[in-house]
Amino acid sequence: MRRSKSSSTRSSCRSSSRAETIGAASVSLKDSVPRSLSIAPWRLWLVWAVGVGAYVLSVTNRSSLSAVGVDAAVRFHADASTLSLFAVIQLFVYASMQIPVGLLLDRFGARPIITLGMIVMAAGQLVMAFAPNVGIAILARVLVGAGDAAVFPSVLRVVAVWFPARQAPLLVQLTGIVGQAGQLLAILPLAALLHATSWSIAFGSLAGLGLLFTVLTFAVIRNRPPGREADVSVDTETGAIRVVTSAADLRQGIGESWRHPATRLAFWTHFTTPFAGTAFVLLWGFPFLTVGEGLSPVTASFVFTVYVICGMLAGPVIGALSSRHPNRRSRLLVLPIIGVQVVAWLAVIAWPGPSPVWLLILLAIAMSTGGPGSMIGFDVARTFNPSHRLSTATAIVNVGGFLAALLAILLIGIAMDLQGAGTPDTYSLGAFRIAFLTQVPLWALGAFFIVFERRRTRVHIGLDRAR
């Protein structure tokens, strides 16, 4: 008994000593960022700017079929289900690569991973530029999805490694907001270039930009600031800086992250809020607006622009409300955001005849809240998961939104085909409206699990009693 007590005491002392050592190391690292390393401010911002530029281009690549979906259907003689397959496979590859990319970042750092991502995306767009048939075009979208998957996590790592902890949350928000400008590049300049020149020139230009950013990311981005011996990441529980090791994430595993109800709540939040906007912008929005609703390409592009700009404006507002009401995020923000989208879509679907432009703009505004709303999922995961498994939890959450989006895109395409409206010359407003109703089950499924997991999370953290 005495030996057991003595052993326990020694173990406690060792644990305490270890904790103090880690804490001291964290403080030391925190205090040294970036003052003791004497990093010139211009260099910090140059590294971030190149990373954000790469992210803008990755969003452009991701959305490159959004305004040219009809052109793609004509070029490849693709019906609606086949056209959906382009986006579905791309999103599937993106989602399935999230956890491997996180582990690779832990192992090799941001520089090689983001550079490799840009190379793979450039290769994908080059293949797309000269693809002679559907099979090769699908291969191109696989490459685009794989390269895209590496970029945003790499930029987040750059922010965590190069900038002080107090600046990281703002820079993450700013990175996301600036990145959405890539959607505008896909909607306006890319479509204009394609219609003014050719398919090969338009997608070949994206490949050329990809090669340019391959060079820039390799030349400018470094895994860590000069003078630092290890990569670091923000410990979101304490605001300190800790050394990153992939072994910790591997030991905890995906299963342990998923078993925490807050991770599941975050997953369903990210699953339910953004998919309608993603499906709209990535593939089906432009054909619906131009062929279904009869808008001119210029007016349809304006509706898309409203979607992007309102999403950028909504981000800081939703972020501030989420920070101010951390225990009511699901009820105060997430569920209302879902409800607004459902009401807007049902109004457009039920409108007799073509919808007026003002209603379509309101639809765009409603959907634009989904992207910022989905960020609440990452906030929930960050709040309730310990730092050593945060990257795993974040990867799980990120899968949710893209899984829902690929399901929505596929269901809409199948619904169009089942109505005999699978090609651009057979598209109709009625067929589109029925097809978009396939989103309702996804909203219902997600909302149910948000309510269910919210209750379990509140019980788990002691805010509510178990029933």
Q: What does the domain layout of the chain look like in residue ranges?
A: 40-221, 253-462
CA distance 269 to 74: 36
Q: Are the CB atoms for 134 and 280 separated by under 8 Å?
A: no
pLDDT in tens, 349-403: 999 999 999 999 999 999 999 988 988 888 788 777 775 666 677 788 888 988 9
CA distance 395 to 15: 30
Q: What is the DSSP string of 269-290?
A: HHHHSSHHHHHIIIIIHHHIII
For residue 256, what are the β-bridge partners? none
Q: Residue 431 above 50 pLDDT?
A: yes
pLDDT in tens, 318-339: 888 887 888 888 899 999 999 9
Can you give the pLDDT at residue 416? 95
The better pLDDT of the pair 105, 9 is held by 105
The better pLDDT of the pair 157, 140 is held by 140
253-462: same fold as 40-221?
yes
Q: CB neighbours of 105 closer than 8 A, spacing ≥ 6?
A: 113, 153, 154, 157, 391
What does the pLDDT average to over 26-43? 51
CA distance 361 to 347: 12
> Structure tokens of 234?
């923000």
Averaged confidence pLDDT in the chain: 83
pLDDT in tens, 188-199: 889 899 999 999
pLDDT in tens, 203-229: 999 999 999 999 999 999 988 887 665
Q: Which H or E run includes 76?
A: helix 69-76
CA distance 392 to 397: 9
Q: Are the CB atoms for 85 and 140 separated by under 8 Å?
A: no
Pick the CATH number of 40-221 from 1.20.1250.20, 1.10.3720.10, 1.10.1060.10, 3.40.50.720: 1.20.1250.20
Q: pTM for the whole thing?
A: 0.77
Can you give the pLDDT at residue 38? 61
Q: Which letter does DSSP use for residue 223 in this model?
A: S
Q: Which of 369, 60, 363 is nearest to 188 (CA)?
A: 60
The better pLDDT of the pair 229, 144 is held by 144
Q: Are the CB atoms for 17 and 149 separated by under 8 Å?
A: no
The better pLDDT of the pair 289, 32 is held by 289
Q: Which long-range contacts (CB under 8 A, 24 or more apart) does 194-200 make?
A: 194/68, 194/71, 199/71, 199/75, 199/129, 200/129, 200/130
Q: Which letter does DSSP use for residue 355 in this model?
A: P
CA 192 to chain centre: 26
Can you give the pLDDT at residue 398? 84
Considering the domain 253-462 in this protein, what is its CATH number? 1.20.1250.20
Q: Which of 34, 61, 102 is nearest to 388 (CA)?
A: 102
SS3 state at 243: strand
